[in-house]
Chains A and B, each alone.
Chain A
Amino acid sequence: QSALTQPASVSGSPGQSITISCTGTSSDIGKYDFVSWYQQHPGRAPKLIIHQVVERPSGVSLRFSASKSAHTATLTISGLQPEDEAEYYCCSFAGTDASPWVFGGGTKVTVL
């Protein structure tokens, strides 16, 4: 499968809200309600911030929310804070005929 499509970069000022889109196909995002989002700071391991499209793991800030419509998933970060500056990756389940996981290319979030 091809990678999911994310914008290369998104920026915002502290306190603002930003959205990151993640576009897939009818074989992944459009077919399964299994989209996750990961935050990765430089030199660190990814951190799960959203799973099953909209679910936040325990301990993840309420400022992170997500949704899905058709073939596109969206991550929203509200009340942007300096520590939100990181790379964000979407990931979708894509069945078991080939690679079960497919990632997006990543979006660099810059807090201005």
Chain B
Amino acid sequence: EVKLVESGGGLVQPGGSLRLSCRGSGFTFSRYEWNWVRQAPGKGLEWVAFTSEHPPRTYYAESVKGRFTISRDNVESSLYLQMDNLRPEDAGVYFCARDTGRASADVWGQGTLVNVSS
């Protein structure tokens, strides 16, 4: 079964950091490009970050550029999102999503909830 499982969410104070993880199983993780997409409570979807290896590229939404870092470990079949200097507006559910090319993702994790509050 093709599956993605996120972890690492939780409550953090403004200015704090969190590292989200997304572990894949049931497929060859290294063959794919990856995204993080988030959803604020009661709001719509917002793309956050993308990573590929061939060629090596990373892209970020303007709202997180300079604060978030996307990375991957193919040996561990895992995707990561290091989130620093968190703001209240970063709160929401964060999904990892397997890229199938140009704004298309065919497999999504169940999401992990991030709460930024003092």
Contacts and interface: CB of A to CB of B under 8 A. Distances in A.
B104 interface: yes
A104 B100 CA distance: 19
Contacts of A96: 57, 59
Interface stretch (B9-17, B23-31, B73-81, B107-115): B107-115
Nearest to A45: B108
A62 interface: no
Contact of A106 (B45, B61, B109, B111): B45
Nearest to B44: A106
Contacts, number: 75
Contacts of A45: 95, 108-111
Nearest to A106: B44
B106 A100 contact: no
A99 interface: yes
A91 B46 CA distance: 10
Interface of B: 35, 37, 44-47, 50, 57, 59-62, 95, 97, 100-106, 108-111
Interface of A: 3, 32, 34-36, 38, 40, 45-48, 51-52, 57, 87, 89, 91-94, 96, 98-106
